[in-house]
């Protein structure tokens, strides 16, 4: 079996220590987490973990099974990229003088469909949302000008198909 990128969605109660136990499941199998995002979900009082890994389908099935054994976990799903709509966000902090002195910076911002979110005397901040490759491309274009700070979020994702989590929760009530 060949390695693929999988997005794992975990719906759970928001309890202390769960993240540590979930990451331990990956650690035991020597599988690196490429991206991790935890937030509220569409269901009240239920959190959603989005975990991105590069592994085989057999391993991801085993991992999802182990995650679901955690008492706080309601349900876990996995998807390949073609089954989801996903993106990441990034912020780039750049020296303000470049915004006015380097015309090319303005073109890069426009062509990359980025936006300036703040401008101060010393720096300005560019925001970019999209696929990781789009963010990496923007990074490479801005790098020669000097990036003061850079941060990228983990993947956020929704499935193209309906996930039966809401129906499942209704049945549990």
Query: What share of the chain has pLDDT > 90, as a percent?
Result: 77
Instruction: State mean pLDDT over 69-95.
Output: 94
State residue 132's pLDDT score. Answer: 92
pLDDT tens readout for residues 30-39: 999 999 999 9
Segment 109-120 shows an average pLDDT of 95
B/e letters for 79-89, b = 16+ CB within 10 Å, e = fewer, are beeeebebebe
Q: Residue range 77-86: average pLDDT?
A: 93
What is the arithmetic mean of pLDDT over 93-109? 89
173: three-class secondary structure by DSSP = coil
pLDDT mean over 80-100: 93
**Are residues 41 and 11 in contact, defined by beta-carbon separation less than 8 angstroms?**
yes
pLDDT score of 173: 53
- For range 86-92, the mean pLDDT: 96
Residue 171's pLDDT is 63
Half-sphere exposure of 128 (CA within 13 A, CB side): 26
Does residue 90 or residue 17 have the better pLDDT?
A: 90
**Mean predicted confidence (pLDDT) in 17-35:** 93
């Amino acid at each position: 079996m060949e390695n693929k990128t999988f997005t794992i969605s975990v719906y759970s109660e928001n309890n202390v220590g769960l993240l540590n136990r979930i990451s331990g499941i990956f650690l035991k199998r020597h599988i690196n987490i490429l991206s991790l995002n935890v937030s509220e979900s569409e269901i009240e009082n239920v959190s959603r973990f989005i975990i991105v890994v590069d592994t085989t389908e057999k391993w991801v099935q085993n991992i999802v099974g182990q995650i679901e054994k955690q008492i706080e976990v309601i349900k876990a799903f996995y998807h390949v990229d073609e089954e989801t709509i996903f993106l990441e966000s990034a912020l780039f902090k750049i020296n303000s003088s470049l915004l006015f002195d380097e015309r090319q910076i303005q073109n890069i911002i426009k062509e990359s469909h980025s936006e300036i979110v703040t401008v101060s005397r010393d720096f300005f901040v560019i925001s970019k949302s999209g696929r990781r490759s789009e963010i990496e491309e923007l990074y490479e274009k801005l790098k020669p000008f000097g990036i003061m700070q850079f941060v990228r979020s983990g993947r956020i994702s929704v499935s193209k198909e309906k996930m039966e989590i809401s129906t499942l929760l209704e049945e549990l009530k």
